[in-house]
Amino acid sequence: MCGRFTLHASELEILQEYELDQEIPGYETRYNIAPGQDILAVIHDGNSKRAGFLKWGLVPSWSKDPKIGYKMINARSETAHEKPSFKSLLSRRRCLIVADSFYEWQRNENGKQPKRISLQNRKLFAFAGLWDKWEHNGKKLYTCTILTRKANEFMQPIHDRMPVILPKEAEDEWLAPVRMDPEQAHGFISNVPIEQLDAYDVSDYVNSAQNEGDHCIRPLA
């Protein structure tokens, strides 16, 4: 799964990386982003790309209870095209979830060791995401989920799952405002190559979602 990540790039870096024309109101750097929080995503509105915040934890438009979002922070890319919660979103509501690293916890004899994982060749990258709009009694929620895949050889000793990280050249195709058949979207994700990753141990300070700041990403002595 993917249950915690970081985004401490500057707003200018994000605007330049994703060729965005508008500023990002409310943006601030984050070192310990957790489920249930608002996370930065890029969508295509049919005219242009724009960035904004979506709540992490998908609430499908048809759901009666918004609390379902806490169970839907991730979607398995292998089966998302078969699931009612994700099938239609693969066709029409794809997004980029911007990050510069993510955390995973590796089991060892002492419990679990948190690790920070990033790309070797890129500072900023995007998880493949899906989003939806939920509305009930005048209340609106815009929420999202991160697609995951089976871990590659690098990640397998750490965890058996990992987020789908889009290569730079695949981002615009994923985001394009065109309908994809769910099977087509599944094939697209299945064929996305996995870029080279780096990982190092960090303090269990990051275990609590209430903890923030660059202490979260400092290498463990």
Residues with active-site annotation: 2, 104
Q: How far is CA 218 from the centre of its chain?
A: 22
Kindly give the pairing relationship between strand 49-56 and strand 139-150. Answer: parallel
Cα distance between residue 202 and residue 194, in whole Å: 23
| Torsion 211-215-218-221 (CA) sign | negative
DSSP the chain: ----EEE-S-HHHHHHHTT--S--TT---EEEE-TTSEEEEEEE-SSSEEEEEEEES---TT-S-GGGGGG-SEEETTTGGGSHHHHHHHHH-EEEEEESEEEEEEEETTEEEEEEEEESS-S-EEEEEEEEEEEETTEEEEEEEEEEEE--TTTTTT-SEEE-EEPHHHHHHHH-SS---HHHHHHHHHTPPPPPEEEEEB-GGGGSTT--SGGGGSBP-
